[in-house]
Amino acid sequence: MKKKQLAGLLCAAGLLMAACGDGNSSSGTEGSAAAEEKTSISWMAMLHTAAPPSGEVSEKLEAYTGVDIDFTWVPDASKTERLNAALASKSLADIVSLAEITNTTVRSSLASGMFWDVEPYLKDYSNLANISEDRLESSRIDGKIYGVPYQKPIARYGVLVRKDWLDNLGLAVPSTLEELEKVAQAFTEDDPDGNGVDDTVGFVERDESFNVGFRSLSGYFGADNWFTITDDNEVMPSFMQPEYKEAMEWFRNIYANGWMNSDFAVMAKNDQKNYIVQGKGGIVLSGLQEVRNYVDEAAGTAEI
């Protein structure tokens, strides 16, 4: 979405709607050659699985849009470093998929004019034109929208539990925090895989858990998401709420009892998934859009 490559930006705005071009044409041979030339764009996307998606995905995207797409897949664990390096060297791809734009380097790049305001183009594509005004307003920075808003589902995160371990121990699917705590204890202490070895834990958390797992579960205690407005009409970070503290005390008890992996502070996202798939842990707090990845990778070894 660099200014010098507006065509790439238009592709980003209408990727699933139409092919894009530069909007200019010439007559005669030059016009024919231009019409036959296929647009090429580069795309930096974040990778949340051990291996990139199959070629079938990119092939169908290219066939649908009529555009050659050169994907660069960046492991989620190293996304910040790779993005910062690309911005610093001005080698950024035409399209970049970002879950958030709180990165200070990204913000500096926005202020420097490296990115386009895409809002004027959204109305040209029927699906994008239907993005709600509330969603657009929450995406504006200094009155501008620098990328196609990513519309996340309202119920974004959830608790994934190994069903085969529940069955092995005769436990029901937990529906309360008290039941979830008991399942975490049983998965750690009662040999859920039946191998006679003390080699399992309940919760499997990772280095981003303060932004993902811990924060997500704090909502079960009544904490707000990121921020809240107090009775005095002041903005308060959710981690200052009593409910958030209660959630952290709950997790502290889980950790102190050994019902969670002790190395969570240095565990990468893909290692967290492998922990579940390889039978070392049984509970994970994850984005619900990633359930299919867990189910597919655990096929034959675990039932989620």
pLDDT digits 0-9 by tens, 195-221:
999 999 999 999 888 777 888 889 899
pLDDT score at 76 = 79
219: amino acid identity, one letter: G
**Identical fold between 3-139 and 157-298:** yes
pLDDT score at 54 = 75
Of 12-16, 79-83, 87-91, 196-200, give the range with the top mean pLDDT.
Answer: 196-200
pLDDT score at 249 = 97
pLDDT score at 106 = 83
Nearest to 251 by CA among 261, 240, 238, 237: 261
pLDDT digits 0-9 by tens, 21-77:
333 333 344 444 445 678 899 998 888 777 787 778 888 889 988 999 999 998 877
The rounded mean pLDDT for the chain is: 82
Could you name the CATH architecture of 3-139?
3-Layer(aba) Sandwich (3.40)
pLDDT exceeds 60 at position 15:
no
Phi first, then psi: what are they for 144, rounded to 5°? -125, 150
Phi first, then psi: what are they for 185, rounded to 5°? -65, -45
Helix-helix angle 104-112:79-88, to 10 degrees = 30
Per CATH, domain 157-298 is 3.50.30.30: no
Nearest to 255 by CA among 295, 294, 214: 214
Query: How do the domains of the chain map onto residue ranges?
Result: 3-139, 157-298
Question: What is d(CA 21, CA 268) in angstroms, rounded to the nearest whole number?
Answer: 40
Question: What is d(CA 149, CA 89) in angstroms, rounded to the nearest whole number?
Answer: 26
**Residue labelled with tokens 């994008």:** 128
Distance of CA 289 to the CA centre of its chain: 9
Using 50, 70 and 90 to split pLDDT, how confident is the model at 222? very high
pLDDT digits 0-9 by tens, 107-138:
888 888 888 888 999 999 888 899 989 889 88
Is 247 in contact with 232 (CB distance < 8 Å)? no
Is 177 in contact with 294 (CB distance < 8 Å)? no
Which alpha helices (H) appear in the chain, and where do they start and end?
A: 6-13, 28-36, 55-65, 79-88, 104-112, 119-122, 126-129, 133-139, 163-169, 177-189, 213-218, 242-256, 269-277, 291-298
Question: What is d(CA 184, CA 281) in angstroms, rounded to the nearest whole number?
Answer: 9
